[in-house]
Amino acid sequence: MPLTRPTGRRRWLVAGIGVVVLALAGWLVFGLGAFEARADGIVEREPGQEIDAGNLVFTLDHATLQQVLASYADPEWELLVTGTVRNPHDRTLEPMRGDQGNFFATFDRTTLLSTHGTWPFAVGGSTQRPFVLPDDRPVAFSVRFEVGEEFTPPDDLSLVVAVLPMEFTDNRVYGLGSGTPVWNRDSAAPFYALGIDVELLPPVTR
């Protein structure tokens, strides 16, 4: 269910998304023309609304931040955003990860958090096999963002999440390419952005 936000919250979201646009443009796009196209291409979403990212269809409605303690390693912070995912295509797919992936997030509007790591996604509660079956049925989904070893929770736990769309193409340039279409970032499409208030959970030992 979408969160109810005061007017001030709405103003923050619009301003926050604007700065995320600039950060994403500098991170992902080369050339002034592409920068301007990216800066104009934003589709705002509320928590719980469907986001069609081309490869998969997501909803995102909740976020938690928790310090994970372990006897064999230094404490680390885990930032999870949860919702659902469905696959409207005719083959099994998984979300795209890393710098060319479906997701970025930020607390401070300038430092982008991406989905690196061994198991950044969980589908239907499983991180070992984060595949989405081609049955167009929504299943539970979570994405874990890498916050870094030096991360300290900010006073303002308002998170902006950006969802980047994909296209199924063969990026063949100057005769180089596999000749087989694959899912990759659609640089001409607008990206989606939404604001989520993060719930700070007590530390947990694993």
Model pLDDT for residues 46-96, shown as the tens digit of each residue:
999 999 999 999 999 999 999 999 878 888 899 999 999 999 999 999 999
State the pLDDT at residue 11: 46
Indicate the pTM of the whole model: 0.80
Closest Cα to residue 45, out of 140, 198, 162? 162
| Cα distance between residue 128 and residue 94, in whole Å | 12
Residue 45 has pLDDT above 60, yes or no: yes
Residue 198, amino acid:
V
CB 120 within 8 A of CB 138: no
Question: CB neighbours (10 Å) of residue 159?
Answer: 22
Residue that wins the pLDDT comparison between 40 and 185: 185
Q: Which are the contacts of 128, defined by CB distance < 8 A and separation ≥ 6?
A: 119
Cα distance between residue 43 and residue 75, in whole Å: 36
- List pLDDT tens digits, range 147-204: 887 889 999 898 989 899 999 987 665 455 566 888 988 878 888 988 999 999 999 9
Res. 2 pLDDT band, cuts 50 70 90: very low
Chain-centroid distance of CA 24 in Å reads 12
Contact between 54 and 167 under an 8 Å Cβ cutoff? The reply is yes
User: Which strands, in side-by-side order, build the sheet including 158-163?
Assistant: 42-44, 191-197, 158-163, 103-106
Query: Residue 50: its pLDDT value, please?
Result: 97
DSSP 17: H
Q: Residue 13: pLDDT above 50? A: no
CA dihedral 166, 167, 170, 172 (to 10 degrees): -70
> Is the distance from CB of 192 to CB of 162 less than 8 angstroms?
yes
Q: What is the pLDDT of residues 100-154, one digit of tens each?
A: 889 988 887 667 788 876 678 999 888 877 899 999 999 999 999 988 878 899 9
Coarse DSSP helix, strand, coil percentages of the chain, rounded to the nearest 5 percent: 15, 40, 45
Quickly count: other Cβ atoms within 10 Å of residue 46's Cβ.
Answer: 15
Band (5; pLDDT cuts 50, 70, 90): very low
